[in-house]
Structure 1
Amino acid sequence: MEPKPPPRRWRLLRLLGIVLTALLVLFISGLLLGDRLTPKAIGAPSHALPLQDQQTLIDRALVPVLAEHPGQSGAIYLSEGLEAYAARSIITRQAGRSLDLQYYMWHDDMVGHLLAHDVYQAAERGVRVRLLLDDMNTQGLDPQMMALDKHPNIEIRLYNPFRNRDGLWRLLEMVQRAFSINHRMHNKAWIADGRVAIVGGRNIGEEYFDARPDVNFRDLDLLLAGPVAADASTVFDQFWNSDAVVPIAALQFSTDQQLGNFITQAERDARQQKALPYLQRVRARFDDAYLSERLALHWTADIHVHSDPPRKRGNADRADWLVTRLAEVLLGARHKSLLISPYFVPGAAGTKALVRQVQDGVQVGVVTNSLAANDVAAVHSGYMHYRRPLVAGGVQLHELRSHGHPEKASTFGSSGASLHTKAFVVDDRRGFVGSFNLDPRSAYLNTEMGVLFDDPVLAARLRQEYLRLAGPELSYWVYLDRDHELRWLDRTHTPAIALRTEPDTTWMQRATTRVISWLPLESQL
């Protein structure tokens, strides 16, 4: 008599057990082997090219102006998307020596193609181009990146790259290297001829430059000219030559056809109707006096670019971490501290520090995304724990209204927020603009960079940006009513309307966020 086959449910359970065991073995192997699983850095060292007085158009424009401002650097905010695009395009077209570009994301879209084509044209003129990208968001971009990398004047390197470039194997590698793959390079810098740098919050993609009707980020960069640009070049060299970075040519191969396809696509994008305002802005601004006169740079001595080290691990010495430097500035506030952060998860210690400042007589204000404006529900779930103690402690909390399609927000992704600016101003003098969110991920997992200054003029302009974002037209004021319940005040009405639930959200959004808040995810946010 033949034995009966096991019930179907037992077969499914056994299969599930095998899969889970395989994943566990995969994960443990990654935990034990650690960084030995990552591709090895094999790129030849290189460094920023020495400055010349008259070699390039940028040299000739800036050297006389720098002589009029000895020991100082020029700076100007780039808040409008069109202007931020034009600034990158123009300094790229005027570069004659080098372009060093460092970004977390470079999207495969119209803006990404147009700026990449500017970079390619610079290489055609003989400019040396070094492009450093974080590898987390490059899946599917290898053909375009390899097309550029094939040019003799262009080299592309990837930070903490995947060995497997796409498909299921890439996903399995993510599981195996769960701990090491979690460390990403969030830096953002565009450096031309070693004399001009754009540093701030923008990645390269349509939503960061107001080119998408459904998703537009409110963001901020600083264009820097003069000695401070050398700080950005030093940061770039540290990353470019670190053992966390691998040339893309060591991971993938290229063909002549890929380069031809890239040029064709870029030229096709330039003919799109939505590209017209961007190309027109470049043409309107482009002239020899763009840097020296048209931008009306503000000149100051106390301004510097700072960054985390390329390797940033929890057991390392944190003295040179950006979070240490920023905390020192913020905790030194004497009368005013105004913070702008799209992702705001201050933690218990940060909340306690901010409330203590209020008790010491410091005005503390925060602008962040509301749930409807936030594109990452998991981040809002971490932030919501601290909202009540912050407001109860006297912190002035403003949440940006929804602009776009919050129903498309993802749990962990990044595709729909209204606010993307990361900045603060302290005591109307000291300030910061960069890539650093006020959350655990920026503090302890990602590498970050930005501009720190001590200058009343730059501080006043940043304070104006804070007040604009915190104003009634753009934000709700969060407060506690007499029953100690959170309320959102809509000040666009007369009289103002107090809302009892998270504005502009559905019950499903609120429920999802609440459930996520119960999970132990805060250290990853």
Structure 2
Amino acid sequence: MKVMFFTLLLGLATPLFSVFAGSSSANQLQVMDDGILALNQRLELIKKAKKSIEVEYFIYSIDPVGRIFTQALLDKAREGVKVRVLVDKSAPVFELKPFYVLGMKNSLPEDKRENIEVKYFNPTMILQFYSTQFRNHRKLLVIDDEFAVTGGRNIADEYFDLNPEYNFLDRDVLLTGPLAKEMRETFDLFWDAKYAKDAKLPKEPKLSDFHCNHADRSCNGATKKQKFRMAMRRYEKNLNKGLDYVTPNADDAVLLDGIQREGERLNKGSQEVTCNETYFYTDTPGKKSRNQLLKNEIAKLIAETNEKIVVESPYFVLYSKTHNEMTELLDKKVKLTVLTNSLYSTDAVYVAAVFNAMAATYVQEGMQAYIYRGKSPIEWGGVSEEAHEGIWGIHSKSATFDDKHTFIGTYNVDPRSRNLNFEMGIVCKNNPELAKLVTSHIQKRIDGAVKLNNKGKPEDGSKLLFDTSFGKKALYWGLMIPSHIFK
């Protein structure tokens, strides 16, 4: 039994997209767990660009990371590099408003302004609720068709270990090789899709834009001038915001220096792996198709597994079909280990409510379930000490299969990623070196987690809702009632 509330909340609906698959080829892969490393590598790649840069993210924030990332893109646009930015326009998280784009354009010499273009994906009005559910959750940076970065990170402080209150433990992969070009070609599919719209830049108001309504006898020339002046003040205020966003300042310089120093240190200890069977899978905009290769490829990897699967996902929400698939897997005596968020560490309370309602069942069926404690990594390599003391949550979307196949991408274990969002990911097959590396990274995070017993409670005797604020608990308990009824 299902109700509309959970259908809409968790995305149990029919998708409106088809799927594209990349080809197999040898590529170099660098796994990036540290946020500072992941940010510095992005900035260094942008510096290398000679011809083109493609940027595609679900979230693009107006914060220190957004500032320095945007400024790096503009530096290349001034040099003549073509820069295209595609940002999903999901109302709850959308920040890159048109006046920031106008600031980006106006910061460039007039003959260079065409070198940077910005589009919004699916800018549907919030009242069109069904249409707004189809979000572009892909995360991609491509440089000159030679380098590509994908994984769980968006462009915001909390994805790069820099938010003083809450940060994500995430994972990206930097790919160097021929597959980067195919990844860029999928960017083109989204860029050219009818769902992608140019950012409509605000225009400077003119007095002639304002007219009196004939029915309003109080309206006169003075009234029109007053309306014009008010509109002009709003325009100038927003324009100054946009220009300030793209203009480097002393704080940006200090942050960049810290990122570069720490990023270079972390890069020296990072490992690059050659994968001879590298595959790229992505959903593409369009009507539903039987060729949903991303989720089908994941299902195929699961079905072919004989011994063990290790999963790290911020959300772990199964519905009847995926629950049955998991049960079949466990019946084969495959060891399934899952690391996800606790209520304390999650950024989505309703997901914790759904998972905790089912946790006992999952463990009884054979799954080894771990929930993250929310503390900073044991091996801290950050720039911000405030971030070190804040709350940390799992955000990586990764899995390894039989210690030889690896998936790193944007796909969460939940109905939204399976049925609604446009997702993407890299699969490296028959490479024990990479699989064991990623498994070891997940294990380090498991060391900071709590294992659940067959009652869905922490095995160490601690409370399930440890360290959680009263407000978060209240929302959680409100959601637990329908979670138990409709599980």
Is this a same-fold pair by TM over 0.5? yes
User: In structure 2, what is the equivalent of residue 6 of structure 1?
Assistant: none
Does the CA contact (< 8 Å) of 2:357 and 2:483 recur in 1? no
* Counterpart among 258, 264, 282 of residue 277 in structure 1: 258
CA deviations 1:461-506 (Å, max 9, x no partner) are 11111211212xx1000012xxxx33203xxxxxxx4125432235
| TM-score, normalised via structure 2 length | 0.78
User: In structure 2, what is the equivalent of residue 247 of structure 1?
Assistant: 198
Query: 2: CA distance between counterparts of 1:441 and 1:185?
Result: 11
Query: 2: CA distance between counterparts of 1:218 and 1:522?
Result: 32
User: In structure 1, what is the equivalent of residue 33 of structure 2?
Assistant: 79
Asked if 1:309 is matched to 2:284, the reply is yes
Shift of 1:517: 3.5
Asked if 1:390 is matched to 2:362, the reply is yes
Shift of 1:147: 2.4
Does the CA contact (< 8 Å) of 1:488 and 1:502 recur in 2? no
Asked if 1:486 is matched to 2:456, the reply is yes
User: In structure 1, what is the equivalent of residue 344 of structure 2?
Assistant: 372
Query: 1: CA distance between counterparts of 2:410 and 2:247?
Result: 28
Query: 1: CA distance between counterparts of 2:349 and 2:25?
Result: 45
CA deviations 1:299-330 (Å, max 9, x no partner) are 12211221111236xxx224225222222212
For the residue of structure 2 that corresponds to 1:302, the secondary structure is: strand
User: In structure 2, what is the equivalent of residue 161 of structure 1?
Assistant: 123
Shift of 1:209: 0.6
Asked if 1:211 is matched to 2:162, the reply is yes
Query: 2: CA distance between counterparts of 1:297 and 1:102?
Result: 24
CA deviations 1:216-247 (Å, max 9, x no partner) are 11000000001121221121011111111111
Question: Are the structure 2 counterparts of residues 245 and 522 from structure 1 closer, same or farther at C-alpha, using a change threshold of 3 Å?
Answer: farther
- Between stretches 271-280 and 219-228, larger displacement belongs to 271-280
Asked if 1:143 is matched to 2:99, the reply is yes
For the residue of structure 2 that corresponds to 1:267, the secondary structure is: coil
Does the CA contact (< 8 Å) of 2:27 and 2:179 recur in 1? yes
Query: 1: CA distance between counterparts of 2:99 and 2:365?
Result: 53
Q: Percent identity?
A: 24
Could you list the runs of 5+ residues in structure 2 that have no partner in the other structure? 1-15, 17-23, 107-112, 205-234, 377-389
CA deviations 1:370-420 (Å, max 9, x no partner) are 11111111111222232111100110000000238xxxxxxxxxx976111
Shift of 1:362: 0.6
Question: Are the structure 2 counterparts of residues 140 and 247 from structure 1 closer, same or farther at C-alpha, using a change threshold of 3 Å?
Answer: closer
Question: Are the structure 2 counterparts of residues 426 and 296 from structure 1 closer, same or farther at C-alpha, using a change threshold of 3 Å?
Answer: closer
Which structure has more RCO (C-alpha within 8 Å, separation ≥ 6)? 2
User: In structure 2, what is the equivalent of residue 24 of structure 1?
Assistant: none
The amino acid that maps onto 2:104 is L
Query: 1: CA distance between counterparts of 2:36 and 2:182?
Result: 26
The amino acid that maps onto 2:298 is L
User: In structure 2, what is the equivalent of residue 463 of structure 1?
Assistant: 439
User: In structure 2, what is the equivalent of residue 224 of structure 1?
Assistant: 175
Question: Are the structure 2 counterparts of residues 338 and 309 from structure 1 closer, same or farther at C-alpha, using a change threshold of 3 Å?
Answer: same
Does the CA contact (< 8 Å) of 1:269 and 1:275 recur in 2? no
For the residue of structure 1 that corresponds to 2:457, the secondary structure is: strand
User: In structure 1, what is the equivalent of residue 306 of structure 2?
Assistant: 334
| TM-score, normalised via structure 1 length | 0.72
Query: 2: CA distance between counterparts of 1:508 and 1:111?
Result: 29
User: In structure 1, what is the equivalent of residue 132 of structure 2?
Assistant: 181
User: In structure 1, what is the equivalent of residue 335 of structure 2?
Assistant: 363
CA deviations 1:267-300 (Å, max 9, x no partner) are 1264464454114346x589xxx9xx99763212
User: In structure 1, what is the equivalent of residue 467 of structure 2?
Assistant: 504
Query: 2: CA distance between counterparts of 1:515 and 1:263?
Result: 42
User: In structure 2, what is the equivalent of residue 440 of structure 1?
Assistant: 415
For the residue of structure 1 that corresponds to 2:336, the secondary structure is: strand
Query: 1: CA distance between counterparts of 2:265 and 2:82?
Result: 24
Does the CA contact (< 8 Å) of 2:360 and 2:456 recur in 1? yes
Shift of 1:261: 5.1
Query: 2: CA distance between counterparts of 1:155 and 1:506?
Result: 43
Query: 1: CA distance between counterparts of 2:480 and 2:241?
Result: 48
RMSD (Å) for aligned C-alpha atoms:
3.0
Query: 2: CA distance between counterparts of 1:93 and 1:521?
Result: 51
Task: Tell me the matched-pair count.
Answer: 412
User: In structure 2, what is the equivalent of residue 114 of structure 1?
Assistant: 68
Question: Are the structure 2 counterparts of residues 521 and 230 from structure 1 closer, same or farther at C-alpha, using a change threshold of 3 Å?
Answer: farther
